[in-house]
Amino acid sequence: MNRSPIWHPFTQHALEPTMKRIVSTDGADLIDDEGNRILDAISSWWVITHGHRHPAIMEAIRAATEAYDQIIFAEYSHEPAERLAEGLIGLAPSGLKHVFYSDSGSTAVEVAIKMALGYFHNRGEPRDRIVVMEGSYHGDTIGTMSVGERGVFNAAYEPLLFGVDRLSFPQEGREQQTLDMFETFCRSGRVAALVIEPLVLGAGGMKIYHARLLAGLKEIAERHSSLFIADEVMTGWGRTGTMFACEQADISPDILCTSKGLTGGALPLAATLCTGNIFDAHLSTDRRKTFFHSSSYTANPIACAAAVANLDIWRSEPVLERIRNLEALQRQNLGRFEGDDRFANIRQAGTIAALDLVVRAGGYLADIGPRTRRLLRERGFLIRPLGNILYLMPPYCVTADQLGGAYDAIDEVASIILERP
């Protein structure tokens, strides 16, 4: 078979075989062109929540195509966008009053950064510093790479990236050090915003920290009149056990970013929610204070209709019960590896489970990652390790047998990798 002309994301084509084609999806499974079922144990990069092709979302998409395609959103509005905005404000932490649509998690965070800087610029306050946490990932646009961890992923683009202030990751027992660092940064009077993944750093290694740290950071931000931006692109829509991770710290961010599970994973869509104060700082008869951001497909009506259907699923189906069941299944399966010297740092946050394979050479670029992924795929499981870090984040419809099979495969593959009998 000739190689496809497609350039795939995060793929080194010189090392990867020709990719198999998926011909359909069903529940928690992908089905390839040979009829093999592959358990989507990472929700196709964390987007699929209820399961692939949920009937209500598919029907909403079909119905929307009878009335809509793309509509310029700088000139008009439409019913799916209006209904979705009202629903999001009703679900989100209190105080968020306005919704700005975009296309992906990266753009949602990019919008948030621009909102924060625009807020202070329009108020005539000289604040230009962004604070982030080490090891974080917020996207692959220039702004989101700037606020993410620096490394091999963005070394080639370093001349384009702006400087930020970085907090140390709050290791258990050392949380105060992180809080003290943030306090010091804020005392400069230049901090516009903190951008943070609440409770779990996703692509940075599924690192988990306590909700009290999140609450402490919010208190410091408020005291110094800096904005708090919650990047809930991955952590939202039940992944950490609550609709949004911020709920577990009992805080309301000034800006909240959401995408991935917003449409249940069916179509690309993102939203950045903000407080009235941030919107009002851009509201003026002076057109220079306009929020200058857009994309051609802002608030695509079909994607918005899918998201409205997703909100209805959360209202009408026992989604939280499914999440509780999945949390219990993850906890039960992780338990089999307690005390197993092949694994370290076994951890869980809601429906997210992770564990580190103990190897001599870890890190994202270690050969252990691609090798483990291939062995798991051969056994019918889509699991993409972050180097030597294995994690499972399946759709909420996954069954006990399916999830147990994934852990069986991890058990087997770990022994092969480590050459244990």
> Which 8-state DSSP code applies to residue 190?
-
The reply to whether 24 sits in an annotated binding site is no
Q: 244-279 in b/e burial notation, b at 16+ Cβ within 10 A?
A: bbbbbbebbbbbbbbbbbbbbbbbbbbbbbbbeebb
C-beta of residue 209 within 8 angstroms of C-beta of residue 175: yes
List per-residue pLDDT tens for the chain, 421 residues long: 567 999 999 999 999 988 999 999 999 999 999 999 999 999 999 999 999 999 999 999 999 999 999 999 999 999 999 999 999 999 999 999 999 999 999 999 999 999 999 999 999 999 999 999 999 999 999 999 999 999 998 999 999 999 999 999 999 999 999 999 999 999 999 999 999 999 999 999 999 999 999 999 999 999 999 999 999 999 999 999 999 999 999 999 999 999 999 999 999 999 999 999 999 999 999 999 999 999 999 999 999 999 999 999 999 999 999 999 999 999 999 999 999 999 999 999 999 999 999 998 877 777 899 999 999 999 999 999 999 999 999 999 999 999 999 999 999 999 999 987 6
Residue with tokens 């996703």: 202
Structural domain count of the chain = 2
The reply to whether 105 sits in an annotated binding site is yes
The reply to whether 384 sits in an annotated binding site is yes
- Note whether 255 and 334 are same-domain residues: no
- Note whether 338 and 372 are same-domain residues: yes
In a domain, 161, yes or no: yes
- Note whether 288 and 343 are same-domain residues: no
CA distances from 207 to 13, 102, 373 (A): 29, 27, 20
CA neighbor of 412 nearest in space, from 387, 380, 386:
380
CATH for 365 = 3.90.1150.10
Question: Which uninterrupted H or E stretch holds 344?
Answer: strand 343-349
Burial class (CB in 10 A: 0-12, 13-18, 19+), 401: exposed
The reply to whether 296 sits in an annotated binding site is yes
List of residues 6+ apart from 232 with CB closer than 8 A: 198, 244, 245, 246, 256, 257, 258
In a domain, 15, yes or no: no
- Note whether 392 and 338 are same-domain residues: yes
- Note whether 90 and 202 are same-domain residues: yes
In a domain, 2, yes or no: no
- Note whether 291 and 363 are same-domain residues: no
pLDDT at 1: 52
In a domain, 43, yes or no: no
The reply to whether 137 sits in an annotated binding site is yes
pLDDT at 295: 93
Q: Which among 270, 299, 316 is the end of a domain?
A: 316
In a domain, 39, yes or no: no
The reply to whether 295 sits in an annotated binding site is yes
The reply to whether 225 sits in an annotated binding site is no
Owning domain of residue 322: 318-417
> Which 8-state DSSP code applies to residue 196?
E
pLDDT at 360: 87
- Note whether 235 and 367 are same-domain residues: no
- Note whether 354 and 293 are same-domain residues: no
This prediction's pTM: 0.97
Residue 93 and residue 214: Cα distance in Å, rounded? 14
Q: Which among 316, 340, 367 is the end of a domain?
A: 316
Backbone angles phi, psi at 365, to 5 degrees: -90, 0
- Note whether 294 and 393 are same-domain residues: no
- Note whether 254 and 359 are same-domain residues: no
Angle at alpha carbon of residue 199, lines to 231 and 105, rounded to 5°: 20
In a domain, 207, yes or no: yes
- Note whether 301 and 384 are same-domain residues: no
In a domain, 142, yes or no: yes
Q: Which among 316, 348, 380 is the end of a domain?
A: 316
In a domain, 385, yes or no: yes
CATH for 174 = 3.40.640.10
pLDDT at 421: 65
pLDDT at 364: 76
- Note whether 93 and 178 are same-domain residues: yes
